[in-house]
A = this chain, B = another copy of it.
Amino acid sequence: MKKVTLNDIAKKVGVSKTLVSLVVNGKARGYGISGQTCDKVMAAVRAYGYNPNQTARSLRTGMSNTLGLIVSDISNNFYASLARQLEDLAWELGYNMIIGSTDESVGKELKLLEIFRNRQVDGIILSSSQQNPTELENLVKSGFPLVLIDRYFPTVPIPSAVVNNKVGGELLAQHLLNQGFRNPVVLSLTPSYISSVAERVEGFVSVFENAAIHTEVHNIPFLCLVDMVEDFFTTRLHDKNMPDAVFAVNNNLATATLRACHVHNIVIPKDIALVCFDELPYFDFSKPSITSIRQPVAELCSVAFSLLQGQITNNGETKPGHVEMMPVELLVRESSTQISDNNGWRSP
């Protein structure tokens, strides 16, 4: 089952490969190729089911019409949403997406970066787990189209699309303060240097600090998140050292916290308040509903995508250090509000 090639078509029609290529690529007009010839060629293309071999085309043109997406875990709801939105944007412009998950491993991230580049992807959108991204900096300097999404490096000039995580943390803290909570704990992630995580924590902690309240920050390793969160509550219950509020810095930690509270019969918000980053589909109807920070996922993706497009087509001025920071939205719900009945949450 050999595939039909350009050469096959050229022979069948009795013209040159050049001609067929030009017609197939819609450049007939530009070269003044006669309508008749065009029709003959296209008829053969259809008749024999010719499809250009993209690999050959890539090798020749140096463009692959492929974009790489690297995140920590594509099955995480947040990254899955990013992937879908980016895929759609890419599709509009004739790109396909190749994906890779790193599990926060810098080694795997670097490997994926290299592999994707060897595959001649036209650009990469990356949510990096690195701390000192010299390779990334060099990549950008070399002119390779790269944009960071969700996480960036404040001191390293790489085009980035992120949200204002610090303000998100502040909004949650201020809300908890207003509600009268005075003994919060932050459930955060290892590695804790990741900008999104660090800034959420920073914003949160600073607000309480201003109110002369110290916030304990608990870093949970990425890979055994569910168990570690449960252990945290087990220990605290045993030590009779429970916080009155928990800030889960991402959706996975929020879900893990809800599960742990369920296991330990901790009632939200009666026993403890919960606020978190990232909006999950069930947060607005669960009992209790969950106070969260909604990230503007669609905007994040379209900004990231146009930053990448800008680099690929090299249109406009190239600003290597352009960081686009989008606002977030606080959604106050039942999980963090003082309660009004004996069930531990408000009636609907």
Contact = CB atoms under 8 A, between A and B. Distances in A.
Contact of A259 (B64, B91, B255, B285): B285
A58 B120 CA distance: 12
Contact of A96 (B54, B119, B281, B343): B119
Number of copies: 2
A56 interface: yes
A96 B84 contact: no
Given A83-B99, A98-B98, A285 B265 contact: no
Nearest to A143: B1
A120 B120 CA distance: 14
Contact of A285 (B58, B80, B262, B284): B262
A114 B259 CA distance: 44
Given A87-B100, A96-B115, A59 B55 contact: yes
B285 A287 contact: no
Contacts of A30: none
Nearest to A73: B84
A66 B64 CA distance: 13
Given A120-B53, A265-B348, A285-B262, A98 B96 contact: yes
A97 B101 CA distance: 10
A74 interface: yes
Contact of A80 (B66, B75, B117, B261): B75
Contacts of A120: 53-55
A1 B142 contact: yes
A51 B114 contact: yes
A88 B250 CA distance: 23
Contact of A55 (B96, B119, B255, B343): B119
A118 interface: yes
Interface in A115-135: 115-120
Interface string A213-232: 00000000000000000000
A234 interface: no
B51 A55 contact: no
Interface in A70-123: 73-77, 80-81, 83-84, 87-88, 91, 96-101, 114-120
Nearest to A288: B287
